[in-house]
Chains A and B, each alone.
Chain A
Amino acid sequence: MGDFIEVGDKKIDVDEDGFIHKWDDWSEDAANVLAKTENVDELTKEHWVVVNYLREYYTQYKIAPMIRLVLKETGKRLGQEKAVSNKYIYELFPSGPAKGACKIAGLPKPTGCV
C-alpha cells in the first residue's frame, strides 16, 4: 500500500485519499494529525462534538450518519434547540462532512453519489 501518517513515533496506514485503514488505529492524536491534512489547524471543542458523534454512530451502525442527523445531533450536543446549518459544518470542516469530518474521525470514506 505505502501511504501512511506519522502519529508520534507510530506509522498508521492510510488509503490513497488519506483515510485510516483500521478503525482501531485511530486515536485523538491521530485525529490531530489528520486534521492538518484537511485544512483544519486545530481541533476545537466544536470539532470534537462532531468527531465524537461520528465515531459513536459508526460503532452502532457501521456507516457514517447522514448529513441531517449530523446537523441535528451537533446542535443538540451544543445545547441548542435547533440543528446547526450545513454552512456551520463546512466552516468547521472545509472539505465537508463526508470527506473532512469522516477522515478526521477515522471513518472509512463514504462512497457513492456523495
Chain B
Amino acid sequence: MSDEKIEAPILTGSITVPKIKENASVNQKCHHATEKHMEKLGFPIVKPVDWKEKALKKMKELLKKYRSLKLYLDICVRCGSCADKCHYFLGTGDPKNMPVARQELLRKVYKKYFTVEGKVLGGLTNAEELTDEVLEEWYTYFHQCSQCRRCSVFCPYGIDTAEISMAAREIMDSIGVGQKYCNEVLGKVYDIGNNLGMPGPALRNTLDFFEEDIQEVTGVDVKLPLDVEGAEVLLVSPSADFFSSPHVDSLVGYAKVFHKAGISWTLSSYASEFANFGMFIGSYSVMKKVATRILDEARRLKVKRIIVGECGHAWRVAYSFWNTLIGPFDFLDPRYPAPQHICEFTLDLVNRGAIKLDKSANDEFTVTYHDSCNVARATRMGDKPGGQFEIPRALIRASCNKFFEMPDNVNRERTFCCGGGGGLLTEELMDLRVKGTQPKAQALKDLMESHQVNLMVMICAICKAHFTHILPYYDIPMEAVGGIHQLIGRAIVL
C-alpha cells in the first residue's frame, strides 16, 4: 500500500522503445469487485462452476452483436505497427502490453473455438483453450489497457484494441469476474447519482461555497443553480468538478460563462454525473442505465438544451452513443446541438462577443494543451472536421497570451493517454500508471525546459486527477495541471 517502491522511469529526453522485459507488469492487478458491487450491476456474484461454457457463450453473443469485434479478431496480420505505440508498453517493457499481444489474448481463444483452422490445427494457428491461466491473463492485461485507441491510429487495418478490451471485460463480468474500481463507482451512480456518491445536500453545500467564494473574490453575484425546473440549459459535468482540484476551477469557469452570457442554467442532483464507466466495462445496458438518468432529468426539468462539462470518455459516450442509446432528443430546442460541449458553447459566445476575455489575467501561465484520448480519437466537436482539436485550442488562445503546442508525435490524434484512463484510475495500479505516464511527462518536461511552460490544460476529469497525482513522480508540480474553463474563469470579464 505504500508508494515508496514506485519509481518513475528516468526521462531521457526522447520517447524510446524499451528493452523487452517478460512479465514486467504481470503483478499489477486491479482489486476484484466484491459480491456487493457485482450484484448491484446485475452480474453474477461469483464465478460459476461452468464459467468456461458461459464465457464462450458470451463471446459468441458478442461476436454476433458486434461485427467489428469479429473483424478485428480476424484481420490482424501481425505487421507490428502497433507494437511500440502503447504508453504502458513504452513504460513497462512488458511485451503483453504491445497492443498486438494484448489482442492476441482474446484472439487465441477466438481461434480455438470459433474458427475452422483453429479447431483443426489448434496451436499451429496460435489457437489456445480457455483455461484458468488464460482468464487470469485476461484479467491482468485487459486491465492494463486504457482503451485510448492510440494503437488503432497506427494500425493499417484500423483494429481497435479498445473494443477488444471492452469485450473481454464484458465477458469477465458475465462470469462474475469484475473489477472493483469501475463497478463500485457504477453502483454509486445507480444509488446516488454520481461516481463520488455525493448526496444532494452535500452538492448544494458545495455549490454554496463557490457562490460565496466567487462573491468574495470578484464582488459579483454568480449563482450555481441546482434542480431548477424550467431552466434553459441542463449542465451535466463529471462529479469530480464538485470535489477535486483542479477540477473545481473549471466548474467556477462554467458558472461565470453562464452568468455573463445571461443564459439560465441548472445542475442536477439526480443527474449529477456526466462520466459513464459503463463504456469502460463494455456493458451497453449499464451504459444505457447511467445515461438515462440524464435524459429523464432533462425531461423532468423541462430544459431546452443539454450542455456537458470537461470529461473525455463521457464526451465519447455522449457524442457517439447518446443518440442511439437514449435519443432522439426531439424534445430539446432543435437550433442547438444535442448534446453540446461546454467548449463549443463558450467559444461561440467568445466569437459573437457575448463574453469578453482578458488574456492578461493568465499572464502568469505559459500554457500547453493535452489532447485527451477519447476526445481526440473518438469524437468530434462543433460542425467542422477536427473541431475536437481546434475548439479547445481556440479557447486557450482566446484566454491567454502564451501557448505552445506539444510535439506532433504526442499531439492531436497521436496524443498519448495520460496513463490513467479506461477505468484504471485506481490506487493499486499506481506503478503501472506512473510508468504509463512517461511519454506525456517527457513531452511536458521538454516544453517546460524549452518554453518555460508551467500549465498543461485539458478537458478530461480523469486526466486531471491522474496527472495531479502522477506528475510529481517526475518532479513536475501538481499545480501544472489545469482545465480550459479554469483559464476562461480567470480571464472572463464579469
Q: Which residue of B lies closest to A71 (CB)?
A: B245
Chain B 193-212 interface mask (CB, 8 Å, partner A; 1/0)? 01111110110011001100
List the one stretch of A24-32, A42-50, A58-66 in contact with chain B: A58-66
Residues of A within 8 A of B243 (CB): 66-67, 110, 112, 114
CA distance A62 to B239 in the complex (A): 15
Say whether B367 faces chain A, with CB atoms less than 8 Å apart: no
Is B201 a contact of A67 with CB atoms below 8 Å?
no
Which of B180, B197, B201 is the most central at the interface, judged by chain A CB atoms within 10 Å of its CB?
B197
Residues of B within 8 A of A17 (CB): 1, 31, 427-428
Residues of B within 8 A of A72 (CB): 209
Is A86 a contact of B202 with CB atoms below 8 Å?
no
Q: Which residue of A lies closest to B204 (CB)?
A: A61
Residues of A within 8 A of B311 (CB): 113
CA distance A63 to B272 in the complex (A): 15
Q: Which residue of A lies closest to B241 (CB)?
A: A113
Residues of B within 8 A of A66 (CB): 206, 209, 242-244, 248
Residues of B within 8 A of A99 (CB): 427
Q: Which residue of A lies closest to B185 (CB)?
A: A111
Is B2 a contact of A39 with CB atoms below 8 Å?
yes
Say whether A69 faces chain B, with CB atoms less than 8 Å apart: yes
Is B465 a contact of A114 with CB atoms below 8 Å?
yes
Q: Which of A57-114 contact B (CB under 8 A)?
A: 61-63, 66-69, 72, 86, 95-96, 98-99, 110-114
Is A86 a contact of B245 with CB atoms below 8 Å?
yes
Residues of A within 8 A of B210 (CB): 68
How near does chain A come to B487, taking the closest CB pair, in angstroms? 18
Q: Which of A18, A39, A67, A113 contacts B195 (CB 8 A)?
A: A113
Is A67 a contact of B462 with CB atoms below 8 Å?
no
CA distance A66 to B204 in the complex (A): 12
CA distance A13 to B427 in the complex (A): 19
CA distance A25 to B360 in the complex (A): 52
Is A37 a contact of B185 with CB atoms below 8 Å?
no
How near does chain B come to A113, taking the closest CB pair, in angstroms? 4
CA distance A63 to B203 in the complex (A): 10
How near does chain B come to A103, taking the closest CB pair, in angstroms? 10
Chain B 1-45 interface mask (CB, 8 Å, partner A; 1/0)? 111000000000000000000000000000100000000000000
How near does chain B come to A74, taking the closest CB pair, in angstroms? 14
Is A114 a contact of B240 with CB atoms below 8 Å?
yes
Is B2 a contact of A98 with CB atoms below 8 Å?
no
How near does chain A come to B237, taking the closest CB pair, in angstroms? 11
Residues of B within 8 A of A41 (CB): none
Count A interface residues, CB 8 Å. 23
Residues of B within 8 A of A96 (CB): 469
Task: Check A113/B244 contact, CB under 8 A, given A62-B199, A66-B206, A69-B209.
Answer: yes
Residues of B within 8 A of A37 (CB): 1-2
Q: Which of B224-258 contact A (CB under 8 A)?
A: 238-240, 242-245, 247-248
Is B1 a contact of A111 with CB atoms below 8 Å?
no
Residues of A within 8 A of B238 (CB): 112-113
Residues of B within 8 A of A86 (CB): 245, 478-479
Is A114 a contact of B209 with CB atoms below 8 Å?
no
How near does chain B come to A64, taking the closest CB pair, in angstroms? 8
Q: Which residue of B lies closest to A66 (CB)?
A: B243
Q: Which of B31, B196, B202, B479 contacts A114 (CB 8 A)?
A: B196
Task: Check A113/B248 contact, CB under 8 A, given A63-B196, A63-B198.
Answer: no
Q: Which residue of B lies closest to A94 (CB)?
A: B3
How near does chain A come to B483, taking the closest CB pair, in angstroms? 12
Q: Which residue of B lies closest to A16 (CB)?
A: B31
CA distance A112 to B1 in the complex (A): 19
Say whether B464 faces chain A, with CB atoms less than 8 Å apart: yes
Residues of B within 8 A of A69 (CB): 205-206, 209
Task: Check A61/B245 contact, CB under 8 A, given A37-B1, A112-B275, A113-B240.
Answer: no
Residues of B within 8 A of A63 (CB): 196-199, 202
Is B202 a contact of A112 with CB atoms below 8 Å?
no
Is A113 a contact of B465 with CB atoms below 8 Å?
yes
Residues of A within 8 A of B196 (CB): 63, 110-112, 114
Residues of A within 8 A of B195 (CB): 111-113
How near does chain A come to B217, taking the closest CB pair, in angstroms? 12
6 pairs of A and B residues whose beta carbons are closest in the complex: A112-B195, A61-B202, A113-B240, A113-B461, A66-B243, A113-B465
13 residue pairs A–B, Cβ–Cβ below 8 Å:
A39-B2, A63-B196, A66-B244, A67-B243, A67-B244, A68-B248, A72-B209, A86-B479, A112-B185, A112-B243, A113-B244, A113-B311, A114-B244
